[in-house]
Amino acid sequence: MKTFLHASDLGQLDLALQEAAEIKKDRYAFEHLGKHKTALLIFFNNSLRTRLSTQKAARNLGLDVVVLDVNQGAWKLETERGVIMDGDKSEHLLEAIPVMAQYCDLIGVRSFAGLTDRAADYSENVLTQFILHSGRPVFSMESATAHPLQAFADLITIEEHKRQARPKVVLTWAPHPRALPQAVPNSFAEWMRAADVDLVVTHPEGYELDPLFVGDARVEYDQRKAFENADFIYAKNWSCPGVTRPEDYGKVISKDADWTVDSEKMSLTNDAAFMHCLPVRRNVIVTDDVIESPRSLVIPEAANREISATVVMKRLLESL
Amino acid sequence: MKTFLHASDLGQLDLALQEAAEIKKDRYAFEHLGKHKTALLIFFNNSLRTRLSTQKAARNLGLDVVVLDVNQGAWKLETERGVIMDGDKSEHLLEAIPVMAQYCDLIGVRSFAGLTDRAADYSENVLTQFILHSGRPVFSMESATAHPLQAFADLITIEEHKRQARPKVVLTWAPHPRALPQAVPNSFAEWMRAADVDLVVTHPEGYELDPLFVGDARVEYDQRKAFENADFIYAKNWSCPGVTRPEDYGKVISKDADWTVDSEKMSLTNDAAFMHCLPVRRNVIVTDDVIESPRSLVIPEAANREISATVVMKRLLESL
Amino acid sequence: MKTFLHASDLGQLDLALQEAAEIKKDRYAFEHLGKHKTALLIFFNNSLRTRLSTQKAARNLGLDVVVLDVNQGAWKLETERGVIMDGDKSEHLLEAIPVMAQYCDLIGVRSFAGLTDRAADYSENVLTQFILHSGRPVFSMESATAHPLQAFADLITIEEHKRQARPKVVLTWAPHPRALPQAVPNSFAEWMRAADVDLVVTHPEGYELDPLFVGDARVEYDQRKAFENADFIYAKNWSCPGVTRPEDYGKVISKDADWTVDSEKMSLTNDAAFMHCLPVRRNVIVTDDVIESPRSLVIPEAANREISATVVMKRLLESL
């Protein structure tokens, strides 16, 4: 594996899940793999969970870690060839990326969607440039359209907590005051489809996810109906993916508080576990009682971010 | 020891001082203790000495270190339950703290007093939340009311330089243009009371320290009188603790330049050593000649920050 | 070697080049040297290449690394003695530097020229204070007048790619929209003079480099004539060094686009390699086709920054 962006990059998911379980039992079992090797983690956007869990995962593997924040400084990279660079961009990514690659063996990149230009976001422009020009294995630490380390951690969590072979998993939109990327629901849908679960997606009309990720998963516009008999409720807000109305791409087209996940709706489920990738706005996405209930998995999910990142970097190291 | 905030957390101080002396002779003597363990150092406020010395101490113990700065970004944590989080706070500390704890074994927290709400500051709200919700050993890297790593380093320094069994130690207020927290004088008073020294505190009226820290230590409002026969002069500015006049809490109620420590005042002492935790404003807190004199211990004090932090994290590791 | 600022600090350059070649074959060959030792890298200015390559180099040597950014916070250091520090500067470097030195074994400093006061910049005020007051080996990671880690990496690159014993090396000024320091051309000229090459410097009138660095190197004001028969073209912008007109120090006195390096000019050379320290503004300093040509060495040059830093820190460690 030279790149980590999609579920398919991991190959057979059941084997990846086995590997995750082994690593969770002995996190330092593969510490020899990273000896004398360096992971460079590049953040174009803020990060808490990803920053901490990926550093920890790298150290599990014996890797040196260098964290580079490029969001705080004014470092703007030119991306077009042929431009006379006499403006505010002082470096071209055709130099910057190969240079950064000289000092490391693996590269993780966080670069969020701009949410104004659908085609640009869905081309995964920044991540793709790193893949093309670094000559190093590259993994997404949440890029414009996907957050595969989160989705893999979610899958590990579902595997650990499922009570039947093929659980019903509901991905539900929930309201939020600001426009958020589609990366988390995109990857969650993609990974659930790749795994052996019964996936239902529920959201207000207009919030249809991109078919590239959601495929032919069942969509149910009635949230309560979707919740019936569910084993896992995965809540998340996302902005309009612009699938049905391209002009709405990246916009907040609903703040309907009726979509908040509460205990009344949870009572419709099969005693479902509650999941969310965090950070979460309480009493907007989900009520206090649901997120604090014994069926809430938000902390174990976050903890599994260390495990998913360890598996992924292990695979990338094995490819060197 | 699961928490480090007060002198009493260390147990018998003479044993802690012995341990400090051992570690100073061989800083890496306990390097095995931190193997495959991670210290997370969280800074809600700026730091120079603490940032560097605590990282060095962690490495002495073989710990991996992850530094998290939350002061520069706009990460605001909700602390109240029941709030509809549709404003500027995107995460609740009831999630943020347990999540951060997943990726580490020890947590150090720096979070200064706000100096506007005495009750809030003296409740040590942020540190307490980490203690309650992280499930990890937590130590103060200067919190709202205390700076115990500094006070322990000061005690080590006094132990190393004292010329008699029970030295006279004077904590003196000195002027400063801005309002500073009471954390350093609070902890210094507390630790000196716990140790075997003759403590005198001197400051203008209105600057009385909280009895929780200063206890029944002798207070002398005449600085020159306090200096007589002193073995150690510990200078520090602090803002009004609001003990006698709560409405003045956190304010600068005096900038009296007559309280600056100079060589004329030092001549009243028993050839006292001069101490200050740094950073220090020269010719405001203390004159150039005093801080540069052979009796100035400011650099050895700073050096002992590595030692105090090593002892403290060693104790926390032993508690795991 | 206790200080690294000038080519002469390395002693015989041919031996240093041999050491570089050895390290390049086995980067971890001297990993034992840094065990239980810490390098402190202090950045008063932004950095990408230096930040990453120096961290990597430190780890090659088994050093722990602590990176300190002092450019983002508001930490202003007083440098004058006798000042009453009641303004915006909260610490004197006479305290700050010895304190930082307590927690490390080697210190790297990045501190750019201010470009307004020639005498201040050419006194290397900040770096000199670290040398005088830290008691530790100190190396420049680009200081006011010199960038020796870059120049050494450039020399390694020339050594690796030269086709004849004594190549003709041309340092050429090129236009840039903003005022840049003279550190890179200063060090490049100094190091080329110390090495066995035929150096020619070309720039518009008024851009004469300081004799301290450029010595009696040949200066040719006609860029095309300078390029004739060249084996290496090293392009770089710099602001006016103020040698001929002190009042122009630090200013942009030409933006003449006729000085851009393009393929027509490269055709005048002896199939010269193209070099630049990066970051580079394409189609301002150099055209796309030249920087992308097979004769462009900009990426190998950057890669050699790891090697030059490893050799330099190795030498400093050996001096402890």
CB contact under 8 A, A282 and B78: yes
Does residue C292 sit in the same domain as residue C243?
yes
* Residue A230 scores a pLDDT above 50: yes
Would you call A78 and C282 a contact, using CB atoms and an 8 Å cutoff?
yes
Q: What is the pLDDT of residue C69?
A: 87
Q: Look up the domain containing C228 and give its range.
A: 151-302
Please say if the pLDDT value at position B115 is more than 60. yes
pLDDT at position B74, please? 42
Based on the fold, state whether residues C62 and C96 are members of the same structural domain: yes
What is the rounded CA–CA span in Å between residue C201 and residue C172?
A: 6
Q: A69 and chain C: CB distance < 8 Å anywhere?
A: no
Q: Enumerate residues 90 to 129 of chain C having a beta carbon within 8 A of any beta carbon in chain B.
A: 90-92, 94-96, 98-100, 102-104
Phi then psi dihedrals of residue B266, to 5 deg: -65, -25
Q: Do C280 and A38 touch (CB under 8 A)?
A: no
The amino acid sitting at A107 is I
The pair of three-digit structure tokens given for residue C207, joined into one six-digit string: 């851009």
Structural domain tally of chain A? 2
Angle separating helix axes C93-102 and B49-60, nearest 10 degrees: 10
Alpha-carbon gap, residue B157 to B162, rounded angstroms: 8
C273-289 confidence digits (pLDDT tens): 999 999 999 999 999 99
Is the bond preceding C279 in cis, omega lying within 30 degrees of 0? Answer: yes
Q: Coil, strand or helix: which one is A106? A: strand
Question: What is the sign of the dihedral through the CA atoms of C139, C142, C146 and C151?
Answer: positive
- β-bridge pairing C77-78 and C91-92: parallel
One domain for residues C91 and C126 = yes
Chain C residue numbers touching B52 (CB-CB < 8 A): 40, 66, 68, 100, 103-104
Whether pLDDT at A14 is above 70: yes
Contact B303 C102 (CB under 8 A): yes
Tokens 């795994």: give the residue: A195
Task: Judge: B66–A52 Cβ closer than 8 Å, yes or no.
Answer: yes
Could you give the residue ranges of the DSSP H alpha helices within B89-182?
93-102, 118-122, 125-134, 148-161
Task: Give the pLDDT confidence score for residue B75 in this predicted structure.
Answer: 60
> Which residue in the set C66, C72, C82 is minimally distant from B55, CB to CB?
C66
| Rounded Cα distance, C312 and B174, in Å | 45
Say yes or no: C221 contacts chain A, CB-CB below 8 A. Answer: no
In C161-200, the residues whose Cβ lies within 8 Å of chain A are: 177
A88 in contact with C, Cβ within 8 Å: no
Strand order in the sheet with C3-4: C3-4, C138-140, C106-110, C38-43, C64-69
Contacts of C38 in chain B (CB under 8 A): 56, 59
- Percent of residues, chain A, with pLDDT higher than 90: 91
First to last CA, chain C: 9
Report, as an integer, the average pLDDT of B59-80.
82
Residue B305 distance to chain A (closest CA, Å): 26
Rounded Cα distance, B90 and C201, in Å: 56
Q: Dihedral of the CA atoms C140, C145, C149, C154 (nearest 10)?
A: 180
Q: How many CB pairs under 8 A join A and C?
A: 75
The torsion angles phi and psi of B138, rounded to 5 degrees, stand at -130, 135
Neighbour subunits, B (≥3 Cβ pairs < 8 A): A, C
> What's the pLDDT at C12?
97
Spatial CA neighbour of C147 closest among C177, C179, C124: C124
Say yes or no: A196 and A73 in one domain.
no
Looking at the fold, whether B41 and B66 belong to one and the same domain comes out as yes
Reading chain C (320 residues) residue by residue, the pLDDT tens digits are 899 999 999 999 999 999 999 999 999 999 999 999 999 999 998 888 999 999 999 999 999 999 998 865 446 788 788 899 998 888 998 999 999 999 999 999 999 999 999 999 999 989 999 999 999 999 999 999 999 999 999 999 999 999 999 999 999 999 999 999 999 999 999 999 999 999 999 999 999 999 999 999 999 999 999 999 999 999 999 999 999 999 999 999 999 999 999 999 999 999 999 999 999 999 999 999 999 999 999 999 999 999 999 999 999 999 99
Q: How many CB atoms lie within 10 A of CB C1?
A: 15
Tokens of C155: 């020399």
Contacting residues for A286 by C-beta, under 8 A, at least 6 apart: A174, A235, A260, A261, A262, A274, A276, A280
User: Which residue type does B296 have?
Assistant: S
For residue B256, what is the DSSP state? Answer: -
Question: C282 and A83: CB-CB below 8 Å?
Answer: yes
The dihedral through the CA atoms of A219, A224, A225, A230 has a sign that is: positive
Residue A162 confidence (pLDDT): 98
What are the tens digits of pLDDT across the range B225-249? Answer: 999 999 999 999 999 999 999 999 9
| DSSP character at residue B99 | H
Same domain? For A24 and A156 the reply is no
CA-closest candidate to residue B213, choices B129, B121, B305, B280? B121
Q: Cα angle vertex C101, ends C97, C104, to 5°?
A: 150
CA-based nearest distance C150→chain A, Å: 14
- The answer to whether the CB atoms of B284 and C66 lie below 8 A apart is no
Asked if B72 lies within 8 A of C68 by C-beta distance, the reply is no
CB contact under 8 A, C96 and B279: yes
User: Do the Cβ atoms of C177 and A86 come within 8 Å?
Assistant: yes
A94/A180 same-domain check:
no
Per-position DSSP letters for chain C, written without gaps between them: --EESSGGGG--HHHHHHHHHHHHH-TTTTGGGGTT-EEEEEESS--SHHHHHHHHHHHHTT-EEEEEE-SSS---EE-STT----SS--EEHHHHHHHHHHT-SEEEEE----SS-HHHHHTTHHHHHHHHHH-S-EEESS-SS--HHHHHHHHHHHHHH-SSSS-EEEEEE---SS---SHHHHHHHHHHHHTTSEEEEE--TT-PPPHHHHTT-EE-S-HHHHHTT-SEEEEE------SS-GGGTT------GGGSB-HHHHTTSSS-EEE--S---BTTTB-HHHHTSTTB-HHHHHHHHHHHHHHHHHHHHHT-
* Chains contacting A (3 or more CB pairs within 8 Å): B, C
Contact residues, chain C, for B174 at CB < 8 Å: none
Query: Are B35 and B103 in the same domain?
Result: yes
Residue numbers in C near A38 (CB within 8 A)? 56, 59
Q: What is the DSSP letter of A135?
A: -
Residue of B320 and A74 predicted with greater confidence: B320
What is residue A93's predicted lDDT score, i.e. its pLDDT?
A: 87
Name every chain A residue with its beta carbon within 8 A of the beta carbon of C177.
Answer: 86-87
Bridge partners of A219, per DSSP, are A201
**Closest residue, chain B, to C67 (C-alpha):** B52
Which residues of chain B does A291 touch, with a Cβ-Cβ cutoff of 8 Å? Answer: 95
Question: What sign has the CA pseudo-torsion C150, C151, C152, C158?
Answer: positive
Q: Please report the residues numbered 238 through 277 in chain C whose beta carbons come closer than 8 angstroms to any beta carbon of chain B.
A: none
Answer whether C91 sits within 8 Å of B46, measured CB to CB: no
Minimum distance, in Å, between the CA of residue A32 and any CA atom of chain B: 13
Judge whether C291 is closer than 8 Å to chain A, CB to CB. yes
φ, ψ of residue C232 to 5 degrees: the values are -135, 130
Residues B220 and B235: their CA atoms lie apart, in Å, by 14
Which residues does C283 contact at the CB level (< 8 Å), separation at least 6? A82, A83, A84, A85, C260
Cβ within 8 Å, pair B86-A306: no
Handedness of CA A246, A250, A256, A262 (dihedral sign): positive
For A311, the token pair is 């598996």
C282 to chain A: which residues are within 8 Å by CB?
78, 81, 83-85, 92
Alpha carbon of C125 to those of C28, C64, C72, C112, C118: distances in Å? 34, 27, 20, 11, 11
Q: What is the CATH number of the domain that holds B212?
A: 3.40.50.1370
Which among C144, C71, C148 is positioned nearest to C112, based on CA atoms?
Answer: C144
Cβ within 8 Å of residue C19, ≥6 positions away? C311, C314
Residue A71 has pLDDT above 70, yes or no: no
- Chain A residues within 8 A of B84 when measuring between CB atoms: 282-284
State whether A184 and A101 are in the same domain.
Answer: no
Sign of CA dihedral B95, B99, B101, B102: positive
Q: Is A303 on the interface with B (CB under 8 A)?
A: yes
Enter the tokens of residue B59: 């490495």
Q: CB distance B102–A303 less than 8 Å?
A: yes
What's at C33, amino acid-wise? Answer: L
Nearest residue of A to residue B88 by CA position? Answer: A177
Same-domain check for residues C157 and C295 = yes
The residue of chain A with its CA nearest to that of B84 is A283
Which residue in A77, A95, A97 has the most chain C C-beta atoms within 10 A of its own C-beta, making it the best mutation to test that interface?
Answer: A95
Per-residue pLDDT band at B4 (split at 50, 70, 90): very high
Question: C119: buried, middle or exposed (CB in 10 Å: 19+, 13-18, 0-12)?
Answer: exposed
Geometric angle at alpha carbon C71, from C67 and C72, rounded to 5°: 95
Contact B86 A177 (CB under 8 A): yes
- CA atoms of A281 and A259, how far apart (whole Å): 13
| DSSP states along B125-148 | HHHHHHHHHH-S-EEESS-SS--H
Are residue B182 and residue B271 in the same domain, yes or no? yes
C312/C320 Cα distance (integer angstroms): 13
Is the previous residue joined to B98 through a cis bond, with omega within 30 degrees of 0?
A: no
| Of A226, A236, A148, A228, the residue nearest A192 (C-alpha) | A148
Residue C199 one-letter amino acid: L
Instruction: Pick from C65, C281, C285 the residue to mutate for testing the A interface (most A CBs within 10 Å).
Output: C281
What one-letter code names the amino acid at C63? L
pLDDT surpasses 50 at B181: yes
Residue of A nearest to B101 (CA): A303
Q: Do B278 and C99 count as a contact with CB atoms less than 8 A apart? A: yes
Considering the domain architecture, whether residues B52 and B122 belong to the same structural domain is answered as yes
Which positions in chain A touch B66 (Cβ < 8 Å)? 52, 55-56
Q: Which amino acid is at B132?
A: L
Place of tokens 């520069």: B72
Token code pair at residue A127: 């991540």
Average pLDDT, chain B: 96
C281/A85 Cβ within 8 A: yes
Contacts of residue B94 in chain A, CB cutoff 8 Å?
A: 292
